[in-house]
Amino acid sequence: MRLNGLDWTVLAAYGALALAVGLVFARRAGAGTGQFFLAGRNLPWWLLGTSMVATTFSTDTPNLVTDLVRNGGVSGNWMWWAFLITGMCTTFFYAKLWRRSGVFTDIGFYELRYSGRAAVFLRGFRAVYLGVFFNVMIMAAVLLAGIKIGGVLLGADKYTTVLVAAAVTAAYSATSGLWGVVVTDLMLFVIAMLGSVAAAWYALAHPAVGGLSGLVSNPDIAARLALLPDFANWETAATVFLIPIAVQWWSTWYPGAEPGGGGYAAQRMLAARSERDSMGATLWFNIAHYALRPWPWILVALASLVVYPTLDSIAEAFPHLDPSIIRHDLAYPAMLVFLPHGLLGLVVASLAAALMSTISTHLNWGASYIVDDVYRRFVRPGRGESHYVLIARLSTIALVALAAVVALWLENAMQAFQILLQIGAGTGLIFLLRWFWWRINAWSEISAMVISFGVAVWFQFVHEGVGLVLPSTAAQLLLGVGLTTAVWFGVTMATRPTETAVLQSFYDRVRPFARGWRRVVETGVDTPGSATAALLAWMLGCAAVYAALFGTGMALYGRFGAAAVLGIAALAAGYGLFRILPRTA
């Protein structure tokens, strides 16, 4: 099925609306970098939280979920469900600290927290490392999903898809700054939720699937419905559940799920109008991201196993596609061809909007690093705001061009996910401890980044080339975490700590919990919030969201008794969280 006139009308209407919003905010965004990157630090929690959710609605996310479900069943989603623990930790321990810091970007944190040339180097190094390298990888994965969707639904080749998507998104992103990003994200959230539900509805309505009851009773699907892995298969259970729950959530840096916050999530916290708005935005994001969105994607993925049980069946259905991009993640856009016209246009619009949202967020975030942490800090300080806004817009174009080139190299979204996890392995613990332990210094972070990157490059490009057997993904992650953690801790203890005056200034400004700082600073400064309350809120938040997520699954499976128990648990945990929230701020 291809889009007809009605579909194109729906798609064009969304594009026109998004462009109109971008033009409305173009003048405000051009007023200065504070408006272009932080929207004047005046955004409410609901808009910021929804923007974060919309950003993670990216076109590669349903593809990734489909890949996980088709390869490992529903329980394969623990690879990313485990990051809820990280997200709730960030909500109650770190969101308010980011807002108090008042830095322009999270990279600016380094010269606030650390001292000496190492701090200066770290700021520039990490700005390039994350703002360019990591950022380009994320955007490339999103563009790859766009390639697959464009090939299936539009019959477009990968070069045309990348060129059009990159050009349109770059033009939009360079115009409106963060103001345009968050406002269009609000529209995207509504459209994308409608689109994902519609996709699930028509996937279940496919004659081969036989509705929801037919799907869950299908013997080929029943074995894939479990929410937990089969612990009789130790290797699988360790990979998809035990390691994510026990190690991955605190040890691995991944954009959007950074331990302690960072990247575009920190950008949203810094743009909040208050500490409460910063915390509220992060809480709403975690609720919507994990409890509200996953099941429509999961249902489509399960239905795709009935309609397209093998990769060969996908290839037969779409003979015009490049064989190199036919992977399990292609099954999601392949299921969209069964949508009726009009609704197909809405779903394609939602996917296009998701791509625009994610790419524009990452372009704005990456450009903020290039402008504030590299160009203004090291190349051309002291210039006018209009000059830096111009550099921001040029940086936006350069970043999307790099992402387009890398997108043509990647084969599937899971490949990018695994590369990013390995690169970030072992660095996460530093990001949790640096706010609460004075001994962490700039060399801790530099050594962790160098080692984690080296380990990732070794396993990805060298290990098999020298005749060694490549370890499993789980083993690679554990080796990366172990080696990186050992190195950065050793470097920390072997190097001088941050200057006491800098530590005191940081503590006075950010006001973290006093424990961990008593040896080096005066801790008479008031520290709002209770550590005990934050810990309890963290636990209750995780319990509420997981119970809601699994309760929804049980209801869809027709297991209403279990669904009722989990629903009550979610409500009880949510009520407890509501009662304790005032003590965490």
Residue 121: half-sphere exposure toward Cβ, Cα within 13 Å: 11
- State the Cα–Cα distance between residues 25 and 173, nearest whole angstrom: 11
Contact 261, 98 (CB under 8 A): yes
Average confidence (pLDDT) over 252-272: 87
| Domain membership flag for residue 525 | no
Whose CA is closest to 267, among 257, 278, 276, 259?
A: 278
Task: With a cut of 70, say whether residue 421 has pLDDT above it.
Answer: no
Distance, in Å, from the CA atom of 542 to the CA atom of 8, rounded to the nearest integer, reads 41
539, 583 in Cβ contact below 8 A? no
In a domain, residue 386? The reply is yes
> 415 falls in which pLDDT band (50, 70, 90)?
low
| Residue 152 pLDDT > 60 | yes
On the question of pLDDT at 329 being above 80, the answer is yes
Q: Which of 500, 409, 452, 540 is nearest to 92 (CA)?
A: 540
Across 169-192, average pLDDT: 85
Residues 332-387 have pLDDT tens digits of 989 988 889 888 888 888 888 888 888 889 999 999 999 999 999 999 999 999 99
Residue 387 DSSP symbol = H
Q: How far apart are CA 17 and CA 34, in angstroms?
A: 25
Q: 48-92, pLDDT tens digit by residue?
A: 999 999 888 776 688 889 999 999 999 999 989 999 999 999 999
For the segment 147-167, the average pLDDT, to the nearest whole number, is 81
pLDDT of residue 217: 94
Rounded Cα distance between 280 and 230, Å, is 36
Which residues are within 8 A (CB) of 481 and not within 5 positions of it... i.e. 6 or more apart? 247, 251, 252, 425, 426
Q: What value does the mean pLDDT take over residues 570-582?
A: 95
What is the pLDDT, as a whole number, of residue 311?
A: 92
Mean pLDDT of the residues in the chain:
89
| H-run or E-run covering 485 | helix 473-494
Determine the residue type at 433: L
Smallest CA-to-CA distance from 154 within 347, 385, 425 is with: 347
Please report the sign of the dihedral spanned by the C-alpha atoms of residue 520, residue 524, residue 527, residue 530: positive
Does the structure show a pLDDT above 60 at 150? yes
**252 by DSSP, 3-state: which?**
strand
Q: Is residue 495 part of a domain?
A: no
d(CA 81, CA 232): 21
Gyration radius (Cα) of the chain, Å: 23
Q: What is the pLDDT of residues 480-536, one digit of tens each?
A: 889 999 999 999 999 999 999 999 999 999 999 888 898 888 777 767 778 899 999
Q: How far apart are CA 500 and CA 260, in angstroms?
A: 23
Please report the pLDDT score of residue 418 as a whole number. Answer: 62
Q: For position 411, what pLDDT does the model report?
A: 63
Give whole-number Cα distances, 3 to 6, 152, 314, 337, 498, in Å: 8, 11, 19, 9, 60
- What confidence score (pLDDT) does residue 432 get? 94
pLDDT for 21 equals 78
Confidence of residue 158 (pLDDT cuts 50, 70, 90): confident
Percent of the chain having pLDDT more than 70? 96
- pLDDT band at residue 168 using 50, 70 and 90 as cut-offs: confident
Assign 425 a pLDDT band (cuts: 50, 70, 90): low
What confidence tier does 464 reach under pLDDT thresholds 50, 70, 90? confident
* pLDDT score of 377: 95
Q: Is 211 helix (H, G, I), strand (E, B) or coil?
A: helix
Confirm whether 14 is domain-assigned.
Answer: yes
| Structural domain of 98 | 5-250+274-413
Is residue 84 one of the residues assigned to a domain?
Answer: yes
User: How do residues 385-411 score in pLDDT, each as one tens digit?
Assistant: 999 999 999 999 999 999 998 888 776
Residue 273 above 80 pLDDT? yes
Task: Output the CA torsion 382→386→388→389 (10° steps).
Answer: 160
Coil vs helix vs strand at 522:
coil
In a domain, 229, yes or no: yes
Of 203, 154, 195, the C-alpha closest to 304 is 203
Of 90-104, 123-137, 232-246, 415-429, which gets the smallest average pLDDT? 415-429
The DSSP bridge partners found for residue 43 are 272
Q: Which residues, in sequence order, are bridge partners of residue 272?
A: 43
Residue 181 pLDDT: 86
Q: What are phi and psi of 452, to 5 degrees?
A: -65, -40
Contacts of 73 (CB under 8 A, 6+ apart): 223, 224, 225, 226, 229
The distance from CA 8 to its chain's CA centroid, rounded to whole angstroms, is 30
CATH of the domain at 238: 1.20.1730.10
Query: Percent of the chain scored above 90 by pLDDT?
Result: 54
Token duo for residue 156: 């477009």
Q: By the 8 A CB rule, do 446 and 495 touch?
A: no
Element (H, E) at 106: none
Q: How far apart are CA 122 and CA 124, in angstroms?
A: 5
The pLDDT confidence band at residue 108, using thresholds 50, 70 and 90, is: very high
Q: CB of 104 within 8 A of CB of 274?
A: no
Q: Which residues contact 296 (CB under 8 A, 6 or more apart)?
A: 196, 197, 199, 200
- Residue 9: C-alpha distances to residues 171, 309, 343 (Å): 21, 33, 11
pLDDT for residue 19: 75
pLDDT in tens, 12-55: 887 788 778 778 888 888 889 999 999 999 999 999 999 999 88
The answer to whether the beta carbons of residues 455 and 510 sit under 8 Å apart is no
Q: For residue 120, what pLDDT is reported?
A: 96
- The DSSP 8-state label assigned to residue 458 in this structure reads I
What pLDDT does 335 receive? 92
**At 120, is the secondary structure helix, strand, or coil?**
helix
Query: At 519, phi and psi to the nearest 5?
Result: -75, -20
Query: Is residue 256 one of the residues assigned to a domain?
Result: no
| Residue 173 covered by a domain | yes
Quote the pLDDT of residue 1: 56
Maximum Cα–Cα distance across the chain: 70
The secondary structure of 58-98 as a DSSP string is: -THHHHHHHHHHHHH-GGGGHHHHTHHHHHHHIIIIIHHHH
In the chain, how many domains are there?
Answer: 1
Q: Are 406 and 362 in contact (CB under 8 A)?
A: no
Q: What is the mean pLDDT of residues 155-169?
A: 83
Q: Is the pLDDT at 269 greater than 80, yes or no?
A: yes
